[in-house]
Amino acid sequence: MKKNITLLLIFITMSLLQAADEGSIKWTFSTGGEIYSLPAIGGDGTIYLASYDKYLYALNSDGSLKWKYHALTDNNWECFLRNTPALGSDGTVYFVDNSYGYLFAVGNDGTEKWKADFTDGRIAAPPAIGPNGEIIIVTTMREVFSVNPADGSINWKYTFSGGEDEAGAVIDASGAVFVRGGRLKKISPSGNEEWEFENGSNIYSSAIIAGDGTLYITGSSDKTLYALDGNGNELWNFTAGDKIYGSPVLGPDGTIYFYSYDGFIHAVNPDGTEKWTFDEQFQSLFGDIKATPIVGADSVVYFSGVTSDFSTRLFAINPDGSARWSVTLSDVVRFQATISRDSLLLVPQGNKLLAIKVGSAGLADSPFPKFRGDYANTGYVNVSVTAIGPRKENIPGKFSVSEVYPNPFNPRARIRLNLKRSARVRVDVYNATGRRLLRLTDGQKNTGRQELIWDASSYGSGVYFIDVMIDGVHMTRKALLVK
């Protein structure tokens, strides 16, 4: 009995000491330039970090230097590194430079495998890695490349219009690529555009993919989190109090977390209802810093920002939205962080990488517990997005869309629109697998009734979906072709 009490006291004492240790800085690593990137963590615990001093660093788990690689072009020009590295399944480190448009492949021993020049401009987004090891990069020239990991050769190239993508591509299990250029676009595994989602405002964040195949994307000035199905149809939206520039993240129960310029961390249930908000009156002092929360293995959420008293504080937030602990940091941090498997929160601060002790034993078991998803920052999720889901049609009085008629049909299907005001209308036809077959119309339509006709003479019998987008709002109608 006495022995059991002694063991219990030892356990309680160790637990209290561990809790007291949370938030303490265990080590720092300094580079010769600013650190803008999110670290990647290999399966052996090695930490990979890119710095503006033109070096890629590999660190041991205790913060000591393992090796560093000097990034140079073919002409021996030094490359400024701002972007997050990604790790291939064989440990190869892929990273891009922000000066000349190079993609580098470096082995986990620090030796160069290859480098390739892809653009006359820059590569402002981190690389992503697909299910077959292909590397997806997005350039400031609005180009998307699929790259062969063996030698850096090009598999395919896709060019888009709109704004630049600085957040990076996201890839699902089928190899479909999701990028944003002001609008969210889905690109097939062979490099063809399948659809785009437009919200009337430039989208600055990358999409994330939930375990059930739902896509989540945050707008910017429209202050809105969107849930989409695999055809780009809106399932629901949640509006915050101010702009949202950072990407959302996911907890293990499907809760979506994001930071808004209203000063709150928002937690939203998978059905679009509010779960809680965490209010520390974070200040928006630094332009459109794309701060992103991170979720630990115990569902604790971490975030750092400048609070109302103008101090920089790091918070650990319990799953119910209450504060677990907070610490004051000496300077502003760029909060796109990760958590190592040995319970260290790794976050850049100026030219330093801070390793801060936390209670979470690594990342949450969810597809996107942090920016860029997994430990390796691949942006890849072993889930295929859901083709068709429920719709939110909350726009009475502005326009209406009829069902397809006749239904079943052969060979022509009709659909009627009733517009109470002039609006941009786009109508696409998809097959049952979610592949876009054709676009019936895309342009401004006048007030009044409109009828669109699809002649399906060249298509086989089966189920089809007609997606109608009016001023950025999607509605889908099911049609059955019987020949």
Rounded to whole angstroms, the Cα distance separating 77 from 79 reads 6
Q: Between 331 and 7, where is the model more confident? A: 331
Is the pLDDT score of 314 beyond 80?
yes
Residue pair 280/262 in contact (Cβ under 8 Å)? The answer is no
**Rounded to whole angstroms, how far apart are CA atoms 104 and 78?**
13
DSSP, collapsed to helix, strand or coil, labels residue 461 as coil
**Residue 288, pLDDT above cutoff 90:** no
Q: Give me the pLDDT at residue 213, please.
A: 87
* Cis peptide preceding 406, ω within 30 of 0: yes
Helix%, strand%, coil% for the chain, nearest 5: 5, 45, 55
H or E element at residue 481? strand 473-481
Task: Indicate the pLDDT class of residue 234, thresholds 50, 70 and 90.
Answer: confident
Beta bridge mates, 224? 239
Mean pLDDT across the chain, nearest whole number?
85
pLDDT (tens digit, 9 = 90+) per residue, 100-149?
889 999 999 999 999 999 876 678 789 999 999 999 999 888 889 999 99
Helices and strands: H and E segment counts in the chain: 1, 39
Percent of the chain predicted with pLDDT > 90: 46
Do 129 and 88 form a contact (C-beta atoms < 8 A)? yes
Has residue 8 got a pLDDT over 60? no
How many Cβ atoms are within 10 Å of 345's Cβ, its own excluded? Answer: 24
Q: What is the pLDDT of residue 332?
A: 67
Residue 37 pLDDT grade (very low, low, confident, very high; cuts 50, 70, 90): confident
Alpha-carbon distance of 190 to 289, in angstroms, equals 33
Pick the CATH number of 24-357 from 2.60.40.1180, 2.40.30.10, 2.130.10.10, 2.60.120.620: 2.130.10.10
Q: Is the pLDDT of residue 187 over 80?
A: yes
Q: How many angstroms separate the CA atoms of 314 and 302, rounded?
A: 7
User: Class of the 399-481 domain?
Assistant: mainly beta
The whole-number average pLDDT for the span 404-425 is: 86
Domain ranges within the chain, ordered by starting residue: 24-357, 399-481
Q: What is the pLDDT of residues 375-409, one digit of tens each?
A: 999 999 887 775 544 444 444 445 778 888 888 89
Predicted local confidence at residue 446, as pLDDT: 84
* pLDDT band at residue 335 under the 50/70/90 scheme: low
**Whats the size of the chain, residue-wise?**
483
pLDDT at res. 164? 64
380: which DSSP letter? B
User: Cβ distance 227 to 246 under 8 Å?
Assistant: no
Confidence at residue 287, expressed as pLDDT on a 0 to 100 scale: 38
* pLDDT over threshold 60, residue 94: yes
Q: 416: which 2 tokens?
A: 């009627």
Rg (CA), the chain: 24
Cross-strand partners of 103:
96, 116
Sign of the alpha-carbon dihedral angle for 381, 386, 390, 392? positive
- pLDDT band at 285, cuts 50/70/90? very low
